[in-house]
Structure 1
Amino acid sequence: MTLFDRLVDASADDWRAYVEHPFVEMMAAGTLPEAAFRHYLVQDYLFLIQFARAYALAAYKGRTMEEMRYGLDGLRAILDGEMALHVKYCAGWGLAPADLEAADEDMPTTAYTRFVLDWGVRGDLLDLHVALAPCMIGYAVIGKRLAGIPGALSPENPYAPWITEYSAEGYQSVGAATIAHLDALAGGEVGQARFRQLRDLFAQASRLEAAFWQMGLDRA
């Protein structure tokens, strides 16, 4: 088993509440209120800003050139690629760049991103990437599962492009690479005490991801 598999097994309820949250189930069904999705899109932009900082921190904390490049590649992918794509996608939902820049962070956004950054500062590189894992891997898991639900990719479903993005080979490879990177950072067998710490970190990050989904529903 990979470290990721072990973490999911040990945090099954929290993980399931995240990856099967009503927000994503309604996306697959095409019934998610548009106001909920728009709020999510705005907050996800603010979320990406803080995650870029997390990858900058990962580059700083890298112990080898390979680990430093991994963090730098993640930072570049967010700043030079994902944020521009996100802005373009938001435009299709009537959200201009000025709307994104002027928005305030909602409390779940602040709670989640600062949790990741806090662990990145006070923990080691494995702690940081375990805190990032529910986002980085979870979206691949969610996208692949939703794509298999009948009708989810229908042209009539306004959320089909989102599902397509995260179920496609490009993002699926990101999820797989993240799983492999966790194993590389762990360096083999993880002792019981250390695993319990990582499990608690992973479970809390999963709960914060679920709260991020719920934030959109609460604004609908």
Structure 2
Amino acid sequence: MNFCTTIWEEIAPLRRAILSHPFLDELAAGTLPPETFRHYIVQDSLYLAEYARVLALAAARAPTAAGRLEFSDGAKVAVQVEEALHQAFFAQFGVTPEMAQQSEATPACLGYTSYLASLAATRSYEELIAGILPCFWVYWEVGCDIRPRAASPNPYSAWIETYAAPSFGEATRRVCDLVDAAAAQATPAIRSAMNTAFRNAARYEWMFWDSAYRRERWPI
């Protein structure tokens, strides 16, 4: 069994916790309070700006042309999503450019982006791309899970369609292939480190949804 299939099955309890989180249940039902989604989309914008940088670093470190192309394209798409989807939602939910610029990353957002940046700066390429993958894969699973049960009309339909789109699934599959190829050539120690990076990033995914639902702020 390849690396991605194995680790995906191992984190099944965490994936179930994500899919059953009230943030996503209410988003699917269209009942998520607008102020909660506003908090989420501002934090997601801050996250994507940093995630794009991490993808660009992965492209620079990739040993193959396929990796360089995939991660450089991913960095471009992350910026495009931030600009297009978020700007549309900013307008829909009353977030001004000034509000977005003055927003501070929450502990969950800062922790997640800092963790990915630390992988890019101090750990192996294999660990880095294992840590990058959950953002793709978790969102793809969330989009596919929500889409068939989403209420219609739904104020969050554009968000749902973005992450349930076949093109996003294809991008997820390509990153999985790169991670599997790297794991196949890695030592047992590196594969163990990849497992840790993937698992930690997936944990941060749950924390991100949960922090948005609670509209997390810094305690002091």
Pairs aligned (count):
215
For residues 54-133 of structure 1, the aligned pairs below 5 Å read: 54-79=54-79, 81-85=80-84, 86-133=86-133
Paired with 2:34 and 2:100, the residues of 1 have a C-alpha distance of 16
Give deviations 1:79-107, integer Å, cap 9, x for gaps.
Answer: 3x212212223212111222212211111
Assess if the C-alpha contact under 8 Å between 2:131 and 2:198 holds in 1.
yes
2:212 maps to 1:213: no
Paired with 1:114 and 1:123, the residues of 2 have a C-alpha distance of 13
Paired with 2:181 and 2:151, the residues of 1 have a C-alpha distance of 35
Paired with 1:168 and 1:2, the residues of 2 have a C-alpha distance of 25
In the other structure, the counterpart of 2:135 is: 135
Paired with 2:162 and 2:169, the residues of 1 have a C-alpha distance of 9
Runs of at least 5 residues in structure 2 that lack an aligned partner in the other structure: none
Aligned partner (choices 197, 200, 203) of residue 204 of structure 1: 200
In the other structure, the counterpart of 2:170 is: 173
Assess if the C-alpha contact under 8 Å between 1:153 and 1:164 holds in 2.
no
TM-score (norm 2): 0.88
SS in 1 for 2:104: coil
Tell me: CA distance 1:145–1:74, structure 2 relative to 1, closer, same or farther (3 Å): same
**Aligned partner of 1:209: which letter?**
E
Q: Using the TM superposition, name which of 100-109 and 28-37 deviates more.
A: 28-37
In the other structure, the counterpart of 1:154 is: 152
Paired with 2:187 and 2:25, the residues of 1 have a C-alpha distance of 36
**Aligned partner of 2:126: which letter?**
L
SS in 1 for 2:38: helix
Paired with 2:13 and 2:66, the residues of 1 have a C-alpha distance of 34
1:192 Cα deviation from its structure 2 partner:
4.9
Paired with 2:178 and 2:97, the residues of 1 have a C-alpha distance of 33
Paired with 2:128 and 2:92, the residues of 1 have a C-alpha distance of 33
**Aligned partner of 1:148: which letter?**
P
